[in-house]
Amino acid sequence: MPELPEVETVVRDLRPLVVGRTVLGVEVGDRALRKPWDAAWVGRLAGVTIESIRRRGKWILLDLSGGARLIVHLGMTGQFTAVPTLALRPDHLHVVFTLSGLVELRYRDIRRFGSVVLVADEATAMASLDAKLGPEPFDIPPDGFHAAVTGTARTLKALLLDQSLVAGVGNIYADEALHRAKLHPETRGTQLTRPQVNRLREAITAVITHAIEKRGSSIRDYVGGSGLKGGFQDEFRAYGRTGEPCPTCGVPIERVRVAGRSSHFCPQCQRVAKSR
């Protein structure tokens, strides 16, 4: 569910609620998440203080006193919220951190595609993330991006979903960026001209930035770290708007399957480049 803007919103919401608090206890459900929970982690977490919280791509990092790092991924349906300890507990709760100050930090995930992992230190955390993640959307190197895009025959949709090209873009913002850049999702990287690559890069940055300002998009499950919904779903130009008029030209938005994901585009504004 959550892409970079949603994850960023969760982190910003959680920051004032959890930073400075101490972990008094951890409860773990018996249903497995994407990555296995190590029973030794409960003891290791007891008594540590949450010093800061940040994001890299779609991954959340909690910096803990003593150096350990908690790495959280929300998958498709994950929710990471801080609530009063007395608040009713919903189902599908998998990890609950009891914090000082009568606050609970809760990881909830219906489909269990997400993960909660503890690593020993900063170096281990960053090594695992940097190994698979490209730059953040705000500092994509123009030359490197151009080389990566034009050097592959993959479709633009597959490229944007690849976290090693740019970290944090998912299905929604891939479609939205392609619409803004006026590029068809099935266009091949090798077909793009330099100006088109630049347009795509700028569209990614713009869409992600704008979506963060709107606290991300809430379609079904997504809520921020304090349980609040996002607002960018009202600004979609293509995603989920099959049959509705393109905001640019009025032609109905179409949907096709690309890279295994449903992709929404305007058949008028986003033509597939003719491969010679």
Q: Is 58 a catalytic residue?
A: yes
Rounded CA-CA distance 17/71 in Å is 18
Residue 106 is among the residues annotated as catalytic for this protein: no
Q: Is 16 a catalytic residue?
A: no
The binding track of 205-224 with respect to DNA, each residue x by CB under 7 A or -, is: ------------xxxxxx--
Shortest distance in whole angstroms from residue 50 CB to DNA: 22
Residue 98 or 163 with smaller CB distance to DNA: 163
Compute the least distance from the CB of residue 92 to DNA, in Å: 7
Give the contacts of 112 (CB within 8 A, at least 6 positions apart).
31, 32, 33, 34, 75, 94
111 is a contact residue toward DNA (CB under 7 A): yes
Interactions with DNA, residue window 154-173 (CB under 7 A): 154-155, 158, 161, 163, 170-172
Q: Does 252 bind DNA (CB under 7 A)?
A: no
- Tell me how far apart the alpha carbons of residues 91 and 88 are, in angstroms, rounded to a whole number: 10
- Amino acid identity of residue 29, one-letter, is G
Among 46, 102, 123, 132, binds DNA (CB under 7 A): 132
User: Is residue 261 annotated as a catalytic residue, yes or no?
Assistant: yes
Where is 128: in which H helix or E strand?
A: helix 122-130
Q: Nearer to DNA by C-beta: 2 or 225?
A: 2
CA angle 237, 238, 244 (to 5 degrees): 90
Secondary element (H or E) of residue 13:
helix 4-18
The reply to whether 179 sits near DNA by the rule CB under 7 A is no
Torsion of CA 40, 42, 44, 50, to 10 degrees: 150
Contact assessment for residue 137 and residue 205, using Cβ atoms and an 8 Å cutoff? yes
Contact with DNA (CB under 7 A) among 84, 153, 275, 276 = 153
Q: What is the Cα–Cα distance from 214 to 11, expressed in whole angstroms? A: 14
Is 191 near DNA (CB under 7 A)? no
In three-state secondary structure terms, 193 is coil
Residue 24 sits at φ, ψ, to 5 deg, of: -90, -25
Nearer to DNA, 21 or 170 (CB): 170
Using CB under 7 A as the binding rule, whether residue 261 contacts DNA is answered as yes
| List of residues contacting DNA (CB under 7 A) | 1-3, 6, 31-32, 34, 57-59, 73, 75-76, 91-92, 110-113, 132, 152-155, 158, 161, 163, 170-172, 217-222, 259-262
